[in-house]
Amino acid sequence: MQSSTPFLLSEQETQQFLNLLQLEKLKEGECKLKYLEALVQKTQEVIPFQNLFLLQHKFEQRNQLSFQEIKKLVLTGTGGYCLVISPVFCGLLQSLGYQASLICGSCRGIPKNHAAILVNNLLENEDKYLVEVSIGFKNKPLKIDFDKKSELYNYSFGQFYFEWERLYRCKQISFSQIFKDNKISIFWCSLYKRQLAINRKSFHKQTRNQRHNKQNLYPKFFKQRKSTAHVDMQCQKITQKNQKVKTTHCFSAFLEMFLVSKSLFTCLRALANWPKKKEDLHDRSKKSTQFTKD
């Protein structure tokens, strides 16, 4: 877990950020969790999640951004990706009195390519909330108080739950004990990991010719599933190897997000206006021909 002291925003920068979000400062007696949810929601609506700004310079002229450059991208509303938005948002939370820390994350199985925020002692002593303000979709702060699997959440684009995937140490220990003792040295949140067991079975029943047909009938993550699993297996081998040689990284906790496949495809169908039946497709083609005739 990284020390977040350098990310603290000044009074003027805090007010500039809040003006951008069209929010007032946290008032005395106001619920910190509700205000945090409002901050996350407004940030995701106002500040673009993008990395197109990287293309404004030639490859030879690109370099690592300073924190001042990162702050400028966020406070002007230009936006960025997780390594840009999360540090500045963490500084905003700290300036508002939250005990926030920037944590290292993993997205889609690639180690240490993501940054998230951990908020401690929000409503009670020793409670912890995972804040994902720049992950590419809307979400709420997640309370980490479960040993193996979280409850089912209904928010934004579908149903999802979180689950602890693996824990490596010299001897097994419960997750709740780790959080209680605050002994985590690495905290990885591996998101975008879909549970596609139901749809994967039906997908693999298709003929080989249909699979190679690029008709955009299936989302891209069908093709990415194999590579994601492969990366996870590599991480497992590396961690087990490090465990034998007794490295300093004695704790590795993987928190993964699983989308319920059925709700995901219902949502995708609604967004793309996909027909549910062949009859609907036939009716739609009729309407389109009538429109062209008119």
Predicted local confidence at residue 288, as pLDDT: 47
What domains can be seen in the chain, in order of their start residue? 5-293 (3.30.2140)
User: How many whole angstroms separate alpha carbon 122 and alpha carbon 98?
Assistant: 7
Q: Answer yes or no: are the C-beta atoms of 164 and 147 closer than 8 Å.
A: yes
Per-residue pLDDT reduced to its tens digit, 150-177:
777 776 656 677 776 544 333 334 444 4
Predicted local confidence at residue 281, as pLDDT: 46
Per-residue pLDDT reduced to its tens digit, 178-224:
444 433 333 333 333 333 333 333 434 444 444 444 333 333 333 32
Amino acid at 38: A
Amino acid at 93: L
What residues have CB less than 8 Å from 205, skipping those under 6 apart?
A: none
Q: Which two tokens stand for residue 31?
A: 């619920």
Predicted local confidence at residue 194, as pLDDT: 32
Query: 27: helix, coil or strand?
Result: coil
Angle (CA) 74 141 173, round 5°: 120
Predicted local confidence at residue 283, as pLDDT: 54
Query: 45: helix, coil or strand?
Result: helix
Which whole-number Å values give the CA distances from 151 to 23, 85, 141, 216, in the listed order? Answer: 30, 28, 14, 33
Predicted local confidence at residue 239, as pLDDT: 36
How many beta carbons lie within 10 A of that of residue 103, not counting itself? 22
Predicted local confidence at residue 257, as pLDDT: 62
User: How many whole angstroms separate alpha carbon 158 and alpha carbon 195?
Assistant: 13
Q: Which residues of the chain are modeled with pLDDT < 70? A: 1-5, 108-109, 155-159, 164-294
User: Looking at the DSSP assignment, which residues form a beta bridge with residue 189?
Assistant: 255
